[in-house]
Amino acid sequence: MLAIIGGSGLTQLTNLEITRRQVVRTPYGEPSGALTFGRMRGRDIVFLARHGYGHTLAPHEVNYRANIWALHAQGVREVIAVNAVGGITPRAPTTPPSSAKESSTREALAALSGPGAIVLPDQIIDYTYGRKHTFFEGAEAPVVHIDFTQPFCATLRSALLAAAGRAGVAVQQHGVYAAVQGPRLETAAEIDRLERDGATIVGMTGMPEAALAREMELGYTMVAVVANHAAGRGNSAESISVAEIGRVLERAMQNVRTIVEQLVSGDGS
Ligand code: HPA
């Protein structure tokens, strides 16, 4: 079964015909909320709001282990994680574009990484700390080192890419997701550092979720929705408008729902 973990801006899948809700107990404590089971285009899906249905859990308060364990226990084998992010738009080159073509290429690239853009990242850098980040700990548990070279499931990524194509929604198919601790947003200098590290988007909830999913051998991939220019970039040069983030996410999540609907109707499974 496929699960969707919704982040900020996606606390429900309005195109899901809900059949039941279930509270799942886990050895790791409470998940973020009851799992919502339903059908979309004839396929069984389970939805979980990562921050709780009333958006009450901060990124470092989310019980990632309980969430992943609960989904796995209910028969989930594939997860699409939806995450709001800041876009680390590259600093504009100081040289003016040498041609109209170069100028329009720069604009197109900026549109694909600015607010409202949807990114399917292919890499992660983890800067979080103090979170319960593994199932493999404690006296009884074996020491296990999972391979995490490619943190996202290639099959699920390709299926999402194809679904976005069918839905006519433009997506950026590469991205390096920097997972930061939050809940505060970053300083401009921190964003400069993340860019030097190679990150293109920044969010607070991608880790340890992705690694825990890999530990449970789930196929897991992320749909990142750019809510704002990251600190110090674009119209966030002086400050980030938190009110604007909400408005951008509300519009962009409609595109995410459309892509998910295409995904489940297109692959026939
Ligand atoms: N930084 C970190 N997390 C975020 C941001 C951001 O700018 N926007 C949405 N989630």
* pLDDT at residue number 92: 65
Is residue 102, in this structure, part of any structural domain at all?
no
Which residue's alpha carbon is at the smallest distance from atom 10 of ligand 1?
85
Whether 122 maps to a domain, the answer reads: yes
Mean pLDDT of 207-211: 98
101 domain-assigned: no
More confident: 55 or 88: 88
The C-alpha atoms of residue 60 and residue 70 are separated, in whole angstroms, by 19
CA separation for the pair 207, 212 (Å, rounded): 8
Give distance in angstroms: CA of 212 to centre of ligand 1.
22
Q: Separation of 98 CA from ligand 1 center, angstroms? A: 33
Res 93: pLDDT: 65
Structure confidence by residue, pLDDT tens digits, 171-189: 999 999 999 999 999 999 9
99 in a structural domain: no
Candidate of 85, 125, 128, 249 to mutate for ligand 1, largest count of ligand atoms within 8 Å of Cβ:
85
User: How far apart are the CA of 106 and the centre of ligand 1, in A?
Assistant: 23
Q: Distance, CA 7 to ligand 1 centroid (Å)?
A: 12
Q: CA 178 from chain center: how many Å? A: 11
Q: Which residue(s) pair with 54 in the sheet?
A: none
- Which protein residues are within 6 Å of ligand 1, measured from CB? 84-86, 180, 185-186, 202-204, 227-228, 230
Q: What sign results for the dihedral spanned by CA atoms 15, 20, 25, 26?
A: negative
Nearest atom within ligand 1 for CA of residue 87: 7
Who's near 197: CB < 8 A, 6+ residues apart?
A: 125, 178
Average pLDDT of the chain, as a whole number: 92
194, 223, 228: residue to mutate for ligand 1 pocket, most atoms within 8 A of CB: 228
Count the Cβ atoms, other than its own, within 10 Å of residue 243.
6
Is residue 170, in this structure, part of any structural domain at all?
A: yes
Residue 100 domain-assigned (yes or no): no
Domain tally, the chain: 1
Buried b (16+ CB within 10 A) or exposed e, 145-164: eeeeeebbbeebbebbeebb
Encoded tokens for 187: 């300083």
In a domain, 150, yes or no: yes
Contact (CB, 8 A) for 145 and 134: no
239-259 pLDDT, tens digit each: 998 888 999 999 999 999 999
The pLDDT tens digits for 42-62 are 999 999 999 998 878 999 999
Residue-range definition of the domain harbouring residue 139: 2-93+110-265
- What's the confidence (pLDDT) of residue 100? 82
What digits encode the pLDDT tens for the residues 222-242? 999 999 999 999 999 899 988
Nearest atom in ligand 1 to 230's CA: 7
Q: Whose CA is nearest to atom 5 of ligand 1?
A: 86
Pairing of strands 201-203, 78-87: antiparallel
Instruction: Write the residue with the smallest CA distance to atom 6 of ligand 1.
Output: 86
- pLDDT score of 269: 45
> Which of 90 and 67 is assigned the larger pLDDT?
67
Residue 259 lies in a domain: yes
- Give the sign of the dihedral formed by CA 252, CA 81, CA 261, CA 266: positive
| Protein residue with its CA nearest to atom 3 in ligand 1 | 203
pTM metric for this prediction:
0.93
Q: Is the model more confident about 105 or about 1?
A: 1
CATH of the domain at 170: 3.40.50.1580
**Given ligand 1 and candidates 190, 204, 207, 240, which is best to mutate, with the most ligand atoms within 8 Å of its CB?**
204
> Cα of 102 to ligand 1 centre, how many Å?
29
Rounded CA gap, 29 and 257, in Å? Answer: 29
Instruction: Kindly tell me if the per-residue pLDDT of 268 is higher than 60.
Output: no
pLDDT band at 113 (very low <50, low <70, confident <90, very high): confident
pLDDT band at 267 (very low <50, low <70, confident <90, very high): low
Length of the chain in residues, anyone? 269
Q: Is the pLDDT of residue 131 over 70?
A: yes
Is 47 in a helix, a strand, or coil? Answer: strand
Where does the pLDDT of residue 94 fall: very low under 50, low under 70, confident under 90, or very high at 90 and above? low
pLDDT category at 99 given cuts 50, 70, 90 is confident
